Chains A and B, each alone.
Chain A
Amino acid sequence: MNETKEQPQNEPELKINLGGIILNSPILAASGPLGYGHEYRELINFDAFGGIIVKGISLEPWSGNPPPRLAETASGMLNAVGLQNPGLVQFMEKDLPLLRDAGPKLIVNIIGCTPDQYTGVASRLDRAGGIDGLEINISCPNIKAGGMAFGTDPRSTYRVVSAVRRKTKLPLLVKLSPNVTDISIIARAAEEGGADAISLINTLSGMLIDIDQKKPLLGNTFGGLSGPAIMPVALRMVWQVAGEVKIPILGMGGINSADDALQFIMAGARAVALGTGLFYNPGLAESIKTGLVKYMRKNNINTLGQIEGIAR
C-alpha cells in the first residue's frame, strides 16, 4: 500500500475483450473441472473469474467412460471422464437457469461426433439467452471420419467451425488439441472457419499401467494429461499460435500461479483459463488475480494489452 502512495497511479485495468466477450478479469475457469459450476459456487467466490466455461454439452446425454477415470501423475493428472454430460435438454432446463446469474460471463463448451451434432447444440444455445459465447471442443472423435478427432485435421476443423459459425452469432471460441503435428495449421483453419478466439491447449494424450493388475490403469486405457507438468508445452503452443492468427488466444494448460498466467499473456494470450489447478486450490482464481494486480502495480502496467505478447 505504501508503494502506491509514493507512486500515484490508476488501479490496473483487468478488463479484456476476448473475441467480442467483454470480461472483467482475464481469468476463466476451463471447461471440465468445475462441471456446471453449482458445486463450486457453494465453495468459492466466483468474482475473480471473468468467465466460466462449462463442461462440454452434446445433443444427447453421454454416459462417459468406465472407471477408473483419474490418476495423479508427476505434477499433474490423467483423466478419461469421456465427456459425460446430461445432454442439451437437461442442461438448458436444469443447469442454465442457475448459471445465468452466476456473475462471470458464461461460455458453453459444445461437443459432438458429427458436424450436425455440433450445429444442433449451437443453434439451440444461440436462442437460449444468458449465454455469452460458445467454445467448440474439436477434440471429440469424428465418427464419420473413422473416430479421428476433428481437431487433428485442418479440413475437418474448418468444416465443423464454419458449420457452427453459420448457426450462431455468439462469439465462438475453438479449443485445440495439442495431439497434432503442427497446431498452428489447425489454428489457422479455425480462424478461417470463423472463430473469434482460440482456446489452447486441451489435454495431452497419455496412459499409465497398473503393474499389479498388469493392465492399463484407466478404464479407457488412454487419458488426457493436465496440470503443471504440461505448462511449458502449452506455453510453447500459445507462442506458436499467437504468431499465426489475428484472433485472440485463451491460454491454458497447467496454470498454477500468477507467474504462470503472466507467462501465457507475455507469450501472446489475451486471457487464461484454470483447470487442474483448481483441484489443488479451489481459490486459485482469487490468488492469481491478486498476483496479476500486484505485478501490474509494481511494473507500472495499466492494462494487460501492454504486456500481451511482449516476450515475443
Chain B
Amino acid sequence: MRVTLYAPDIAREAYPGQFVHIFMPPEHRDHMLPRPFSIFGTNRHTGELAVLFEIVGRGTALLAGTDPGSSWRLLGPLGRGFPVLQPGSLLVAGGMGIAPLAFLAASTTIPRTLIYGARTADQLVCPRENLELPGLTVYEVTDDGSRGEKGTAVDLFSRLVEGAGAVFACGPRPMLAAVRSISNRAGIEAWISVEERMACGIGACLGCVVPADGGYKQVCRDGPVFRAGEVIIDE
C-alpha cells in the first residue's frame, strides 16, 4: 500500500532513512499513539512525500482506507537516516524494509546494487518503476522462487558482499542480525535501519530502544539508522 501526502516542509528537509509520525484522525483518537513510517520518497518540487506500508493493524488499515484529499496530522522528518551513498554500495531490503532503501537508492546515480527479498512475489510490494533507476542493479529474491532467485536476501547478500563499498540494510531483525555479522566478518562498514514500537518519536519518552554496549540507544532519535556495530541485534 502506498500513500502520498502533501507535506512540503517535511518533503524539503527529509533525507533517506528518516521517518514521519502519522497521527490518527480525531474520530479514531482511541488509538492514542502516532504511527512511525519510513519515508519512501519525496518530491521537493510538488511538496509530496510517500510512505509504503502493509496493513498490520488498525492504524495502517485506517491509513490504507483513507479518502483521497483527506487530511492527516504529520510530524517529521524524524530520526537519523542513512549517510550519503558511496560507489559500490550494497543495499539489502527485506519485505517492507524496501521503503527507506528505495528512497536511498533514488538519492544518487552512482553505481550501486540492491538486493530485494521477501517470502513470496506478492510481498515484493515496491512498484517496479521505483527501482528502475540509472546506475542501480537490482537482484530480486523470494523464499519460494515465485519472483527472482529462490532463496533469502541473506543468501544473496553472502555471495555479493565481497568487495562492496558499504552495506545499507533494512528488514526483519533476523535479517539485520545476519547482515550485521556477515559485514563484520567481511570487514565492510554496514548501516542498518531498526524498527521498534514508538510513542513520542522525538527522543523524550524512552519508549523505543535497542540494546547497545553499556545500555540502550533510542531508535527514534539516535536511529532508526545505526552503524551496525553500535547496536546489539539478537539472531
Interface residues of A (CB under 8 A from B): 32-40, 42-43, 55, 63-64, 66-72, 74-77, 79, 81, 84, 227-228, 256, 276-281
Contacts and interface: CB of A to CB of B under 8 A. Distances in A.
B209 A69 contact: yes
A70 B197 contact: yes
Contacts of A42: 202
B202 A39 contact: yes
B202 A33 contact: no
B30 A69 contact: no
Contacts of A71: 197
Contacts of A35: 200, 203-206
B31 interface: yes
Residue in A39, A227, A228, A256 whose Cβ sees the most chain B Cβ within 10 Å: A39
Contacts of A39: 200, 202-204, 221
Contacts of B102: none
A279 B206 contact: no
B204 A70 contact: no
Nearest to A276: B32
A77 B32 contact: yes
Interface size class of B (residues with CB under 8 A): 20 to 34
Say whether chain A's binding surface is mostly helix, strand, loop, or mixed: loop
Most A C-beta atoms less than 10 A away, residue of B75, B196, B199 = B199
B173 to A, nearest CB: 11
B33 interface: yes
A132 B29 CA distance: 34
Nearest to B197: A70
Nearest to B205: A33
Interface string B204-235: 11111111000110000100000000000000
A69 B207 contact: yes
Contacts of B200: 33, 35, 39-40, 278-279
B9 to A, nearest CB: 14
Contacts, number: 93
A64 B204 contact: no
A227 to B, nearest CB: 5
B234 to A, nearest CB: 10
B23 A70 contact: no
B198 interface: yes
Contacts of B208: 67, 69-70
A7 B30 CA distance: 38
Interface string B20-43: 000110000111111000000000
Interface string B172-196: 0000000000000000000000001
B32 A228 contact: yes
A33 B203 contact: no
Given A76-B32, A280-B32, 20 more contacts: A32-B205, A33-B200, A34-B204, A34-B205, A35-B206, A39-B221, A40-B200, A67-B197, A67-B208, A69-B207, A70-B33, A70-B197, A70-B207, A79-B207, A81-B206, A227-B32, A256-B29, A279-B33, A279-B34, A280-B33
B203 A67 contact: no
A240 B165 CA distance: 66
Contacts of B75: 43
A64 B33 contact: no
Given A67-B208, A77-B33, A279 B199 contact: yes
Contacts of B207: 69-70, 79, 81
B196 A66 contact: no
